[in-house]
């Protein structure tokens, strides 16, 4: 069983010609409400790829929280670990430009009240950085002690993160999934050379770097082992929101099934690419059958 310990949001998405610069106002014809949150997106991606998934997180006692929980349930994600707290449900304000770029502000709300209480004994624990770093660290330490493997998606990069918490997080990480900006931020915080090889060797975990339409690279903690680069297929990109979450969820699903890291990452890359073809995070993720047909035609 995969446990995703993380954020649950409702996304309010506006389409714009160009994303507003600081101090500027731009108009959008309207907005659409989607289910989101990095944690919830990763849980849905893993469930859609065929895994048994439990979500641990929090929502508010409001309509958005009810909608977020209902959506997880409809996607086959267990919600017994989702608590209802006295803060509004997390909400992400997202603008997507005509060329598929996005800018996101998350009002964390109930995500700030997630505690470490989780009763499930997962085979893999998946975490991101949308909850308090200390709470995420505790969850990963508990999971590791119970024999689980841990997958950390270092997104979003926390502002002003305590270096000692970062070091402790990496000590209990088996697989680290980052994009190039997140990799740079981590290398800088750790005062190491900016490269996947160095990060994997320093953090003593597998590092998977997602490089947008260029594909992914996989680095091993053992410096003698060879890294691997895989090219992404080409698609017409409409919206990249949630592509990284799709990658992480499908990767977790593959690892949970016992698939090799390289093959699990290859499928995850295909799934993330397909998820860029339409709007929304979860709404754009491919089904298991669609992914299968694309990966193994």
Residues serving a catalytic function are 245
**C-beta of residue 217 within 8 angstroms of C-beta of residue 229:** yes
Q: Of the candidates 136, 87, 125, 137, which has an alpha carbon nearest to the alpha carbon of residue 107?
A: 87
- Is residue 89 involved in binding ligand RIB (CB under 6 A)? no
The secondary structure of residue 231, as a DSSP letter, is P
8 A C-beta contact, residue 79 and residue 69: yes
- Taking the C-alpha atoms of residue 273 and residue 268, their distance in angstroms, rounded to an integer, is 9
Of the residues 11, 174, 182, 239, which one makes contact with ligand RIB according to CB under 6 A: 11
Give dist(CA 26, CA 18) in Å, integer: 8
Nearer of residues 36 and 286 to ligand RIB, judged by Cβ: 36
Using CB under 6 A, which residues numbered 197 to 226 contact ligand RIB? none
130 contributes a contact to ligand RIB by CB under 6 A: yes
Q: How many residues does the chain have?
A: 297
Between residue 95 and residue 114, which ones bind ligand RIB under the rule CB under 6 A? 104, 106
Nearer to ligand RIB, 36 or 65 (CB): 36
9-16 sheet: strands from edge to edge? 31-36, 9-16, 90-97, 102-107
- 67 forms part of the interface with ligand RIB (CB under 6 A): no
The secondary structure element, H or E, covering residue 195 is none
Burial class from Cβ neighbours inside 10 Å (0-12, 13-18, 19+) for residue 221 reads: middle
**Least distance from ligand RIB to the Cβ atom of residue 36, Å:** 3
Contacts of 29 (CB under 8 A, 6+ apart): 15
Note whether 89 and 10 are within 8 A (CB): yes
Interacting stretch for ligand RIB, rule CB under 6 A, among 221-229, 236-244, 261-269, 271-279? 236-244
241: contact with ligand RIB by CB under 6 A: yes
Integer Rg of the chain from CA:
18
| CB closer to ligand RIB, 281 vs 285 | 281
Binding mask 133-172 for ligand RIB (x = CB under 6 A): ----------------------------------------
Q: Is 256 in the site for ligand RIB (CB under 6 A)?
A: no
- Number of residues lying near ligand RIB (CB under 6 A): 16
- Per-residue string for binding with ligand RIB, 24-63, x by CB under 6 A? ------------xxx--x----------------------
Residue nearest to ligand RIB (CB): 36
Binding site for ligand RIB (CB under 6 A): 7, 9, 11, 36-38, 41, 92, 104, 106, 130, 241-242, 244-245, 281
């Amino acid at each position: 069983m995969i446990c995703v310990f993380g954020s649950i949001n409702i996304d309010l998405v506006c389409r714009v010609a160009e994303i507003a610069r600081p101090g500027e106002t731009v108009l959008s014809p309207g907005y659409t409400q989607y289910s989101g949150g990095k944690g919830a997106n990763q849980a849905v991606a893993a469930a859609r790829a065929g895994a048994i998934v439990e979500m641990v997180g929090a929502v508010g006692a409001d309509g958005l929280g009810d909608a977020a929980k209902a959506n997880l349930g409809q996607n086959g994600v267990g919600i017994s670990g989702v608590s209802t707290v006295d803060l509004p449900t997390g909400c992400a304000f997202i603008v997507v430009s005509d060329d598929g770029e996005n800018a996101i502000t998350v009002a964390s709300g109930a995500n700030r009240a997630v505690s470490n209480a989780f009763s499930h004994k997962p085979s893999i624990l998946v975490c991101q950085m949308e909850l308090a770093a200390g709470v995420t660290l505790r969850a990963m330490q508990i999971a590791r002690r119970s024999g689980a493997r841990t997958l950390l998606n270092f997104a979003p990069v926390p502002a002003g993160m305590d270096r000692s918490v970062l070091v402790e997080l990496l000590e209990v990480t088996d697989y680290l999934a980052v994009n190039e900006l997140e990799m740079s931020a981590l290398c800088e915080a750790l005062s190491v050379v900016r490269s996947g090889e160095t990060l994997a060797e320093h953090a003593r975990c597998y590092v998977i770097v997602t490089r947008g339409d260029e594909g992914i690279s996989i680095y091993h903690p053992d410096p003698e082992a060879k890294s691997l680069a895989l090219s992404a297929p080409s698609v017409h990109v409409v919206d990249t929101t949630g592509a990284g979450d799709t990658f992480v969820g499908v990767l977790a699903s593959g690892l949970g099934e016992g698939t090799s890291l390289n093959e699990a990452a290859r499928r995850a890359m295909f799934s993330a690419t397909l998820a860029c073809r339409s709007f929304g995070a979860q709404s754009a993720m491919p089904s298991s059958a669609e992914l299968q047909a694309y990966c193994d035609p």
